Amino acid sequence: MNWTYWTRGIANGAAGLLLGALTLTAAGQGAPPATASHANAQDWWKNAVLYEIYPRSFQDSNGDGVGDLKGISQRMDYLKDLGVDAIWLTPVYPSPQADFGYDISDYENIDPKYGTLADFDQLIAAANKRHIRVIMDMVMNHTSDEHKWFQQSRASRENPYRDWYMWRDGKGETATDPGQPPNNWQSAFGHSAWQWDEKTRQYYYHKFYVRQPDLNWDNPKVHEAFKEIVRFWLKRGVAGFRFDAITTLFEDPKLADEGAVKDKDGKPLMNAFGEPVLDNSKTDNLPGVHPVMQEMRGVFDEFGSGGFPGTRLLIGETYVPNIVELAKQYGPPGKPEFHLPMDTQLAFINKLDVAAFRGKLVDVETQIGAHTPLLLFDNHDNPRMDARYGDGVHDTEIERALAAVLFASRGASLFYYGDEIGMKTTPPARKEDVKDPVGVTGWPKEKGRDGERTPMQWDVRPNAGFTDQFSKPWLPVPADARAANVEVEKMNPNSLFAWYQRLIRLKKTNPALALGDETMLDTTNSRVLSWKRTAAGSPSVVVSVNFTAEPQTVNLGAAGKLRTLLKSPGGADASALDQIVLAPFGVFIGEVQ
């Protein structure tokens, strides 16, 4: 199985980084602001536009160089103007920040770096006032080593919390020697997933960083604790959660070794940490996770679906190897699990391959039943789109093309802060500048995730308006920020920002694009991806996206006149289905008359 927890560690056909005048028709121009018009409280999420915020990097309000909750609240009008339905905040709970919040030491509070519970309540109020929902991140695979549960657990073998984590004996241990770890399992952050703890003379398991010990999900007390935590926040008005690293909740109880992944010549594939890539068969996507998700979904459903925020949404970070496994994440009939497990299959194709895109889009139309796909291309764990899809010449056009796939396909759409202004991956140049533990361990082959976490580029001021000019941002502001920022892009009707805004409005207001069925068109074309959206009682919409650097002309059928809804800058209007002319990486969206 050529797959690891994140895609970044494998050769997926992508660039080296992996290892390492908007033209509008009358219809588009004066489109009403994005509303939830096509989704009632119960179904709001089915064509939701979701925006991921990495709070450290969005907006600093107090000059400490780290983004915070007040900063996000200050930018709420921007988010409203962009047209998003919900924001997902990566973890803001108290944390030693060893993995920048994914190592939680208290699940029912806010880290002082980001603010207070009162600031959080104000953030929800500011968002809700603008009809924006707030989604939190929930990390249930592991806690911080500073969490009181783990402090107890490591105190003695008899401690009541001992069994909340995964403690095991090593191999060949003697009174003076810890011996070897129980098996060959590796941390996603490099090296053995087992850490010797001298005090009680056993190893604990950590799928991620050594400071993120895995919880034991065979212990019912762990289930109860998390159900209470989830209720705590849902009661506060949170509209849902993104469950982190959820496929890694369970491990093989026999602790069998994992197999090594081979390259095409039969040699073991090596990762950036200098170790063989393992197949994750004993530590990821084990079936035990499904009953737990059914139990958790029950907690969400306790809150009903009326009023605002309506249905409480369960989103999954679901890196699974294929559509069959993705389909399972929705739960079997009558036993729902995730509303929206992320479609990482589409997200990380990592090359502009029309057939591959078409195949993945057909998969979610044909193999997940009546469920809703959650499409995305970007997040805080992978190099940004420029590094995975760009060609260095047409990056903006390519990002426009991907945005068209993201927003004009059926489903909910998720994007990452800065995508809308084409922020670029900016990895650290020197080891001493690296902040992410993945980069600290993997340097120089694996530079870590700092490159996709740089401060939001708001305006032309020093530090791009992320923090004041006297402060030092926690990660450097990229050099291109003076040219590529919100202020500049908002003034330009041809900007990527304007393109995102138009696409989002179309998705929310055009009935066929909002919730219509989807059919692929011109399915043998290897240069242009085309599809049709149809909804009863309203005109169908066709979308064509050129995946090449040359102009292309497509014929989507003889009968049918077209009216342009949206086209790339420099693109031509099309009035008939049999003659759609596309600029390099151009997009055309038209209504069939």
Q: Is 215 in the site for ligand GLC (CB under 6 A)?
A: no
Residue 145 is a binding residue for ligand GLC (CB under 6 A): no
Residue 380 C-beta: closest distance to ligand GLC, Å: 6
Q: Name the minimum Å distance from CB 250 to ligand GLC.
A: 16
Single-letter amino acid, residue 214: D
List of residues 6+ apart from 43 with CB closer than 8 A: 311
**C-alpha to C-alpha distances, 470 to 63, 65, 218, 433, 467, nearest whole angstrom:** 8, 9, 50, 20, 8
Of 399 and 452, CB closest to ligand GLC: 452
Nearest to 99 by CA among 438, 391, 506, 377: 438
Omega of the bond prior to 444 within 30 degrees of 0, cis? yes
Q: Does 320 bind ligand GLC (CB under 6 A)?
A: no
Which residue has the CB atom at the shortest distance from ligand GLC? 102
Residue 381 binds to ligand GLC (criterion: CB under 6 A): yes
Q: How many angstroms separate the CA atoms of 357 and 377, rounded? A: 12
Give min distance, CB of 189 to ligand GLC, in A: 8
Q: In the structure encoding, which two tokens stand for residue 195, read together?
A: 């850490």
Cα gap 9→5, rounded to integer Å:
8
Of 317 and 395, which CB lies nearer to ligand GLC in the complex structure? 317
CB of 378 to ligand GLC, least distance (A): 12
**Residue 49 touches ligand GLC, criterion: CB under 6 A:** no
Tallying the residues shown for the chain, one arrives at 593
Q: Name the minimum Å distance from CB 338 to ligand GLC.
A: 15
Give whichever of 8 and 410 is closer to ligand GLC, judged by the CB atom: 8
Cβ 88 to ligand GLC, closest distance in Å? 11
In the complex, minimum distance from the CB of residue 173 to ligand GLC, in angstroms, rounded to a whole number: 29
Q: Are 244 and 215 in contact (CB under 8 A)?
A: no
Q: Which residue from 99, 214, 279, 395 is in contact with ligand GLC, where contact means CB under 6 A?
A: 99
Q: Is residue 102 near ligand GLC by the rule CB under 6 A? A: yes
Rounded distance between C-alpha atoms, residue 348 and residue 344, angstroms: 6
Shortest distance in whole angstroms from residue 103 CB to ligand GLC: 7
CB 193 → ligand GLC: shortest distance, Å? Answer: 12
Q: Does 210 engage in binding with ligand GLC (CB under 6 A)?
A: no
243 binds ligand GLC (CB under 6 A): no
158 is catalytic: no
Binding residue for ligand GLC (CB under 6 A) from 111, 214, 244, 397?
A: 244
Taking alpha carbons only, the member of 188, 206, 353 closest to residue 277 is: 188
Count of residues binding ligand GLC (CB under 6 A)? 9
Applying CB under 6 A, does 245 fall inside the site for ligand GLC? yes
Are residues 92 and 120 in contact, defined by beta-carbon separation less than 8 angstroms? yes
User: Among the options 214, 244, 251, 452, which is catalytic?
Assistant: 244
103 or 258, CB closer to ligand GLC? 103
Helix (H) or strand (E) holding 402: helix 395-408
Ramachandran sector of residue 455 (left: φ over 0; alpha: ψ -120 to 50; beta: rest): beta
Task: For ligand GLC, give the closer residue by CB, 258 or 381.
Answer: 381
Q: CB-wise, 79 or 98, nearer to ligand GLC?
A: 98
CB of 509 closer than 8 Å to CB of 35: yes
Q: For residue 253, what are the β-bridge partners?
A: none
User: Using alpha carbons only, what angle is made at residue 341 by residues 340 and 346, rounded to the nearest 5 degrees?
Assistant: 110
Burial 503-520 (b: 16+ CB within 10 A, else e): bbbbbbbbbbbbbbebeb
Q: Which is nearer to ligand GLC, 214 or 386 (CB)?
A: 214
Inter-CA distances, 231 with 109, 136, 236, Å: 13, 12, 8
Let me know: does 465 contact 485? Beta carbons within 8 Å.
yes
Cα distances (angstroms) measured from residue 426 to each of 15, 143, 228, 455, 468: 14, 29, 39, 10, 21
Taking CB under 6 A as the criterion, which residues in 552-571 touch ligand GLC? none
Indicate which residue of 302, 433, 517, 550 is catalytic. 302
Annotation marks residue 302 as catalytic:
yes
Enumerate residues 190-209 that contact ligand GLC by CB under 6 A. Answer: 208
For 154-198, the three-class secondary structure string (H helix, E strand, C coil) is CCCCCCCCHHHECEECCECCCCCCCCECCCCCECCCCCECEEEEC
Residue from 139, 402, 506, 572 touching ligand GLC (CB under 6 A): that is: 139
Q: What does the binding site for ligand GLC look like in residue numbers (CB under 6 A)?
A: 99, 102, 139, 208, 244-245, 317, 380-381
**Catalytic residue annotation:** 244, 302
